[in-house]
Chain A
Amino acid sequence: MTKRTIIPFGPQHPVLPEPIHLDLVLEDELVVEAIPSIGFIHRGLEKLVEKKDFIDFVYVAERICGICSFIHGLTYCIAVEEIMKIKVPERADYLRTIWSELSRMHSHLLWMGLMADAFGFESLFMHTWRMREKILDIIEDTTGGRVIFASAKVGGVRKDIDNSTLKTIAKKLESYQKELKEITDVFIKDLSVRHRLSGVGILKKEDAYELGAVGPTLRASGWPRDTRKLGYSAYKNIDFEPITETIGDSYARCVVRIKELFQSIDIIRQAAAKIPDGPVEIKVTGTPDGEYFARTEQPRGEVIYYAKANGTRFLQRLRVRTPTFANIPSLLKMLPGSSLADVPVLILTIDPCISCAER
């Protein structure tokens, strides 16, 4: 029998933007087992709900994650609105959809950059982030923040985008699409990139289902599941189909995310064309009483917010199930059998966002 070695991976590692620790059990160069440990950056944000007014808590919810911040705030708002039986104005629903898709785009571009950096393609990494900056500029012009939008609010949205600006954004994205394709083609077609990603960390269709994978990780294994299809916000009026791949390797997960970028552009275009005029928020009176499970699709997958209220200004309990947490079991399934040099790439393919997994 070959000698087994244990190599600690993380919490500080060049490839990891956030801390997760893995004990990798190796036989020669091959991983036979991976034991994770998380809990380095637990901040106790769920407990804070007992001390903050339910209207003000949306600022805390937005800060659960630094990348998909808007969708966190949005999901919290949906949960509270459903408890209080508030019907959000239609224009606000469309604006929420547009901002959700913009945040999905900037998150996927961030991931692609990190991925390029992980497999050692520095110039591709820089060009991807150059493209991401343009999306961030649109976000900053419309909300005032680059990643923390602070525009979701219980009962609607806090800011409006006027129709002419929306048209300009849709037009800008049209030309942006061509420029973006130049960069994404490198990921899809380049020999060295394909060689690095194809066949690495295959997650079988049945495994993905049984381990409860979510988001692009699940869709790359062939399951057409997208929480946006539930039709929250304005997604019910928008025509799109979940993007799937069949192989379930790192390359498939990369392709799913790239196709989702173009899908997001299409959704924004549709939303900008269909958006009705009207108010963007309604006045919220009274306090919530009851409980609700809110589910939305984040760039990384499905996020679940459970909120329980007892008729006071403070919620009794808030529970967040983030997509990264759901994807860690799939990661542990992918790791055994891969070589040590593939581990950084594999960890990145689930798009780990540890600070939101630990809250």
Chain B
Amino acid sequence: MQFFIMAKTVLKSLFRKPATVKYPFGPKILSEAARGSIIIDILKCIFCGMCQRKCPTSAIVVNKEEKTWNIARLRCITCGYCVEVCPKKCLQMSNQYTEPMLTRHEDLYKNA
């Protein structure tokens, strides 16, 4: 049993940089692999609807006739299953998180 064991750690941290990120005054560097949000290269998409069928939360809606690709960002859980099953590899996982939104809108992408 000892006293002041914590003192060493406390003294060390007095002279150390803060362990936390000084956001928003400093940049928050995200890991390359972080699952942030789904991005689509709509020009490559063939609207097969594979991502819609596989999405566990039904966040993606694909319309083949109108050539639209729709994603509800708030419903998406960024599991990356759509990226995995996409036959044309036009879906990608970006490490940037979706920006906060005020309304429950959906992001619509159109290949016109």
Residue numbers of A with Cβ under 8 A of B are 52, 56, 59-60, 63, 121, 123-124, 127, 130, 133, 137, 140-145, 148, 150, 158, 182-183, 185-186, 189-191, 194
Contact = CB atoms under 8 A, between A and B. Distances in A.
Contact of A59 (B3, B34, B81): B81
B33 A189 contact: no
26 contacts: A52-B56, A59-B79, A59-B81, A60-B56, A121-B6, A123-B6, A127-B13, A130-B19, A137-B31, A140-B33, A140-B34, A141-B33, A143-B33, A144-B31, A144-B93, A145-B35, A150-B80, A158-B80, A158-B84, A182-B9, A183-B9, A186-B5, A186-B6, A190-B1, A190-B2, A190-B3
B35 A144 contact: yes
A190 B1 CA distance: 6
Interface residues of B, number: 23
B54 interface: yes
B5 A189 contact: yes
B77 interface: yes
B8 A182 contact: yes
Interface string B78-89: 011100100000
- Interface SS of chain B: helix, strand, loop or mixed? loop
B10 interface: yes
A127 B19 CA distance: 9
Given A59-B81, A127-B13, A130-B19, 12 more contacts: A133-B19, A141-B33, A143-B33, A144-B93, A150-B35, A150-B80, A158-B80, A182-B8, A189-B5, A190-B3, A190-B5, A190-B6
A194 B6 CA distance: 13
B33 A124 contact: no
Contacts of A194: 1
Interface string B56-94: 100000000000000000000101110010000000010
